[in-house]
Structure 1
Amino acid sequence: MALPKLLDDEGEMTQVLVDALEQIFNKYAVDKVMSREKIQQWSLDTNGAEKQLSEESIDEIFEYFDVDEANNLTFGGFLQLYQLQTENEPEETLNDLVSDHSICVRRSPKKSGRPSQQLIVIVQGKHGLVIGT
């Protein structure tokens, strides 16, 4: 199964991916930033207990990615983290998107000879909103 396009031709995240990541970030952010505790919760929810980020890995997030003056991860830093991951392990980024129960990947139906495509869908309540392929 082909992955949805996560990076554009210049290697930057697609707007579709940025929109999906914004949904995830906003689930955990308080006052538009993620504290250490919120990063731990995001890691647990995304990866499960057996693959949760170590304290050392979380320290590296705060060291290498954009943080505010109180040392909380900003949305920009969250995007930096995912830019790096998506460049190196796009399947892991897709797994992270799917592990967030408000985001899923679905195959669109074939249309008159055109192949189906992978879609990233944000589920809002009972309805899904297709945000891109």
Structure 2
Amino acid sequence: MKTLGVLGGMGPAATVAFLARLQALTPATGDADHIRVLMDLNPHVPDRNTRPGEAEVELGAMARRLAAAGAEVLAMPCNTAHAQAASIRAAGLPFIDMIAATTAAAKATGAAAIGVLATGGGRALYAPAL
């Protein structure tokens, strides 16, 4: 089982909710069956809507730190920050793209209409993907 690195803190409650869902949905019969998770909960990432270049630098640094700490795959429970995914991928680890995964799941159901609650930056990512 691979070690998951989570780029979090945007916002902190979303990261905690993601970790709770990860734990709840893992088919584990005991503690040792759960996924090892390394997390960088950083609520000081510059605003992804108004300071995207600065956010990209910080997200890339977070990804590299998680890789150095032993993460083997990365995830990030912030839709808007996926606009800076290139800097995360540059850390050289597989990145679970939430936009792509959500879009694939929605398309697989044959849904004709999808509702997305997101910032303007999040809408800009989902609209063309859907």
Structure with the bigger percentage of strand: 1
* Structure number with higher relative contact order (C-alpha < 8 Å, ≥ 6 residues apart): 2
TM-score, normalized by the shorter chain, greater than 0.5: no
Alignment TM-score, normalising by the size of structure 2: 0.31
Alignment TM-score, normalising by the size of structure 1: 0.31
